[in-house]
Amino acid sequence: MSFALPERGAPWSDIEPRMRELAKGDVKWRDGRTGMYIFNAGPEVEHVQKTAYAMFASENGLGPAAFPSLAQMEREVVAAGLSLLNAPPGAAGVMSSGGTDSIFLAVKTARDHARAKRGLNSGLNIVAPSSVHPAFDKACMVMDIEMRRIPVKGYLADPAAMEAAIDANTLMLVGSAPCFPFGLIDPIDELGAVAERRGVWLHVDACVGAYIAPFVRMNGAKLPAFDFAVPAVSSISGDLHKYGYASKGASTVLFRSETLKQFLEFDAGPWPLGRMITPTLAGTRPGGAIAAAWAVMQHLGVEGYRQKQGEVTQAREKIEAGVRKLGFEVLGKPQLGIVSFAHPKVDALRVYAQMHHRGWFTAALVDPRALHLMLSPKHNEVAHEYLADLEASLGAVTDEQFASKYAG
């Protein structure tokens, strides 16, 4: 009888080199040629993140009485998020494992709130722009809610079209700050006016914006109101493992008041241990992810975040200027760390393939066909390399197109 598990165990000294060997096939993100999945704030932040994670990798956030350390770190991380996002006194939140998790929790909270306060029980729907993250569709699948994706206008949420899609069973209105495909901040104040008029919960998905936008604004950019400063915003999702530069597995979901947050709690009992009440869907909660998020916040502070996010802004401005020179059109007016651009004459997906061939691991859009970059501080150092390769890639695709046009 043989098992997939090795018959005999091995010491770490044997295992570590094997893992390094395995990692050889992975993208070399530390060189800055990766524009998705990774937020690269440099080796010092990586060191803080990993050391803090390891210190609390065995501890469990499910037990705040056993681990008051983790409870305190979570409280402080949440408080930082609330204050960065203009939350009023009495606002509340929790840490979750990621953006999808935070979005699920916000939808669940809004649903239970609507059940209690509006008597809504079945046939519920969510009205969101077509650019919103698929995590909302997933939450709808699980909670038997209809997802209404409304086409964007000029790449932004269209408040009038969204209002027209609202009915008596609309649970939630969603805007992104920014949306992932185009990196643009939806008109949250206009959505707020709609939400107020129609008595609907407004959620802002700031998964990829919550921990960059406040610092970009402090650095002098004029950003539209997108957070709790808009009175109708009931909840916000903001990922720490994106522009918070925390280890993976860390996000926040924040609520305007403790009263709203109470609808998040899961009270699932009884069972032989009595009654299980948890603040989120999770049972076991990774101590490492909480500790790493807290430690990176202590390490960077406001000054450090302003510096890092300033580098992201510089990288984005260099890229925008460079791609325009090459004849690309930037989609909308990005203000944070994501930029997408299309070409009026050349198929962006063919350029994408060329860039991939040159070692750039990034995303692309299929509707419209465009190149997509999610920038990190590191990209400020390599923006010129990206643009040089983009010029070469564009040349190669133009040659191909020319050749095929005159081939026969």
Q: Where are the beta strands (DSSP E) in 83-230?
A: 92-96, 125-129, 146-150, 170-176, 201-205
Among 345, 334, 329, 326, smallest CA distance to 392 is for 326
Among 97, 61, 74, smallest CA distance to 239 is for 97
Q: How far is the CB of 206 from ligand PLP (least distance, A)?
A: 7
189 φ/ψ sector (left φ>0, alpha ψ -120 to 50, else beta): alpha
Instruction: Give the residue nearest to ligand PLP (CB).
Output: 99
Q: How far is the CB of 97 from ligand PLP (least distance, A)?
A: 8
Integer angstrom CA distances of residue 381 from 16, 40, 217, 377: 31, 12, 22, 8
Q: How far is the CB of 253 from ligand PLP (least distance, A)?
A: 11
Degrees, nearest 5: CA angle 138-142-143: 115
Q: Which is nearer to ligand PLP, 81 or 322 (CB)?
A: 81
Q: Which is nearer to ligand PLP, 100 or 234 (CB)?
A: 100
Q: How far is the CB of 20 from ligand PLP (least distance, A)?
A: 27
With 0-12 / 13-18 / 19 or more C-beta atoms within 10 angstroms meaning exposed / middle / buried, residue 29 is: middle
Peptide bond into 270 cis (omega under 30): yes
Q: Which is nearer to ligand PLP, 246 or 397 (CB)?
A: 246
Q: How far is the CB of 19 from ligand PLP (least distance, A)?
A: 24
User: Contact positions toward ligand PLP, by CB under 6 A?
Assistant: 98-100, 133, 135, 176, 179-180, 205, 207-208, 239, 251
Q: Which is nearer to ligand PLP, 136 or 215 (CB)?
A: 136
Q: Which is nearer to ligand PLP, 115 or 138 (CB)?
A: 138
Q: How far is the CB of 385 from ligand PLP (least distance, A)?
A: 25
Neighbour count for residue 36 (Cβ, 10 Å):
15
Q: Which amino acid is at 32?
A: G
Q: Which is nearer to ligand PLP, 181 or 322 (CB)?
A: 181
Integer angstrom CA distances of residue 327 from 8, 320, 323, 342, 395: 60, 11, 7, 9, 12
d(CA 108, CA 140): 10
Torsion of CA 83, 87, 93, 98, to 10 degrees: -70
Q: Which is nearer to ligand PLP, 102 or 380 (CB)?
A: 102
Is residue 350 within 8 Å of residue 394, measured between CB atoms? no
Q: Which is nearer to ligand PLP, 170 or 176 (CB)?
A: 176
Cα end-to-end distance, the chain, whole Å:
63
Q: Which is nearer to ligand PLP, 171 or 207 (CB)?
A: 207
Integer angstrom CA distances of residue 152 from 162, 192, 326, 384: 9, 17, 27, 32
Q: How far is the CB of 207 from ligand PLP (least distance, A)?
A: 3
d(CA 260, CA 258): 5
Q: Which is nearer to ligand PLP, 32 or 181 (CB)?
A: 181
Q: How far is the CB of 374 from ligand PLP (least distance, A)?
A: 8
Q: How far is the CB of 289 from ligand PLP (least distance, A)?
A: 12
Q: Which is nearer to ligand PLP, 179 or 236 (CB)?
A: 179
d(CA 201, CA 221): 29
Neighbour count for residue 144 (Cβ, 10 Å):
10
Q: How far is the CB of 216 from ligand PLP (least distance, A)?
A: 16
Q: How far is the CB of 39 from ligand PLP (least distance, A)?
A: 11
With 0-12 / 13-18 / 19 or more C-beta atoms within 10 angstroms meaning exposed / middle / buried, residue 268 is: exposed
